[in-house]
Structure 1
Amino acid sequence: MNWLLPRLLVTLAALALGTGIGFVIGDWLKLPAVASAIGAALGIALVVLIDALRGHRLMRWLRGAQEGDAPRDAGMWGELGYRIERALRLRERELAQEREQLAQFLSAIEASPNGVLLLDANDQIEWSNAVAADHLGLNAQRDRRQPITNLVRTPAFVAYLQSGDWEQAVSFAGPGHTSTLAVLIRRYGEGNKLVISQDVTERLRTEAMRRDFVANVSHEIRTPLTVLAGFIETMASLPLTEVERQRVLKLMQQQTDRMQVLVSDLLILAQLEGSPRPPADRWVLLKGLLQRVEADARTLSGGRHVLSVADAGSAEIAGTEAELLSAIANLVTNAVRYTPEGGRITVGWQLRPDGSGELDVRDSGIGIAREHLPRLTERFYRVDGSRSRDTGGTGLGLAIVKHVMQRHGGELDIDSEPGKGSRFRLLLPAGRVRSGQPQPLSPALLST
């Protein structure tokens, strides 16, 4: 209100000045009263004109983009322009902050591993992150303001959206039927809907594998237990000769050994999955591992195969000795079991030019059809179940080898053809392989 008094004083001054000038001119014209009134009116009109010009400048600035400063006039119009400009600038800063917060919020949603879709009250798409667009086969920009049911026509999703009962998520196949989606809807605002999608393909696959694993373990253990229970009942209820008794005991021992091997392999797998990564600075002499594997393989073969094991020299591998021994032994044992009598088994080793290592186990056995190769490392997967059980296999050996290689940063490569044998390669990274033990420091260096 500091503009009010000066404005009154200026108006009074204009009025007095106009009256005075009009009186002087009226006195000369012999019409002092009329001239004074006209002078006063002109004084007031001048003040009004100046106000109109100042108001016009302010209105012109308001009609424009308000990029520059408001007109800096004196009096009421100057203060009005200043206050309007300050309010506009404050509002612009608030809008900029809100836009930045909205952008950060949308960026956070965009980074979410789940799909997020916003629908209005008419089920039209207001916004979608890239994950939701990928899940539902949408275009995040092009499909805005489109009804979701025109674009996602899966009956399960449409019925779920229209039902209004969204307590539980709905699952259905994604575009191309290559994935399974779980979608959950929540209300927000005035009839708006938040659609959250998640790719549950891997989770369902893991759950299926877990169920299959439990079923397989139960089956593998139940079979020998049934056999043992039958033999025990036979021995308890029937009089057996010594020969029959020894035969029954031998079969019981075989079933017991089979369960022990199965439990041992299961414990090894559990330990591999639950233990920390093998150390990269604990070196194991490969030659010693191969010698132990060779001795076990010759015992298992009983002279029925031609076995050749390469001399690894002073090569060393960084990792856990027990795990590496288990991986190599599983491959060589499988080669002995599935190679007919008189067949050849070769264990080779080489250092690659890039510093990595390759250990391969070849056999001239029955071979494996190509369609089975991708699944060989699955737990309990068998190409021929009856033959595997006859040879004493548990179906866990290659799963153990795969886990050991993954934990040591390597991989298992399998190549086989029916009737032409098989080749299993353990590929170890350069960081876990060295050609030999480091030379000890000389006494002179030690003294320094």
Structure 2
Amino acid sequence: MTTQSPGTPLPPPKERRRLRESASLTQAQLAAQLGVARETVRAWESGRTTPRGRRREAYAKLLASLTDTPEPEPPVTATLVDPPTGTDPERTPTRAPDRTPDRTSARAPRRAPARALRPRPTPTTPAPPRPPHSPAPDSPSLTPAQAFDALYAFCAPSLVRQAYLLTGRRELARESVERAFQTAWDRWPEVAVDPDPAGWVRATTYEYALSPWHQFRPRFRNPEPPPAVPADRALMDVLLSLPPSYRRTLLLYDGIGLGLPETAAETEASTPATANRLLHAREAVSARLPDLAAPGRLHRRLAEVASAERLRAAKPSVVRMGSERRARFWTRAAIAFTVALISATALTLQTAPTRYEPPVPPGETVPGVPPRAAPGALSDKELALRAKLRAELTHGPQRLTPEPR
């Protein structure tokens, strides 16, 4: 077995994509032939990463063969991420996604599938051609609304199932996806130029779904009915018993198939901490469900449990209108609050005093004047004073003595 040096010549990234599309192959089909993930092929075609070693050699040979004849398509694979259209639904996948060190996070899709969790075609089935009137979401000819609708159609079905695995609540899963896309539409100029818009929306969905404030909402205080199948119910019980950070790490790595560095970056943790969370989560699952100790089996079971529930997302136009209504409401509320604050300030300026008025000082005691006595009999001293005043003759206008009649 020989390996090629890292200097194996490869076409430019745009030429790699052109060769793949000329052979009517999807990124997922090409990835299955090379034994890598679809996100890895997407990164190679965008120029963000470059293959090395045996993978570089295999990729170069495959691209060289695509110049003459198209390659056969890969075997059936199903994950929690939406694959391309053109195939029939099948619940049971055949193998888990390959996790490689050079794997990168999911990027914006090239086209939107008709339904999620569809298996990829077998080698005997011809590859589905690109629809003639379905431009890529990143095409410059698309309007912002069309690009948003394409991203929503690609990500929303799978995100609803992922949010259900995180929360165990169907209504909260749909609400989390709608709120995440409403936030994305509000900040669409930023999301549209993001290197990973699908990852941006996924992280926002996870943050909203795992928010601890939902437990104080009246509608989410009572638990929802569990899955009807006992095996699915047992797996959901194990997932919901895990801490939210462990549950999120397990879903990103074993459910979606992200690499360990990408999982650590999305969960905002270090790579060793993410690895420890993943190991503890797997140990907790295998302790209660020994048949799911293998990562591949756990990946298939997660896809099966998520696919068993009838979880439908709203239409993209409804999400966009809801986002715009919410933006108008808060804008009007901010304007009303500003007007009320300005009015209160103006009223205060009009009614406030314009000069300083010193306060009235408290009364002072005048010496020589006896204090007023309480009602009752006079004391000896007071009787003597009264007799003295009555005995003295008063003259002048200062004292008027009433004459008896």
Shorter-chain TM range is: under 0.3
Relative contact order, CA 8 A, sep 6+: which one is greater? 2
TM-score with structure 2 setting the length: 0.19
| Greater Cα radius of gyration, structure 1 or 2 | 1
Q: Which of the two has greater strand per residue?
A: 1
TM-score, normalised to structure 1's length?
0.17
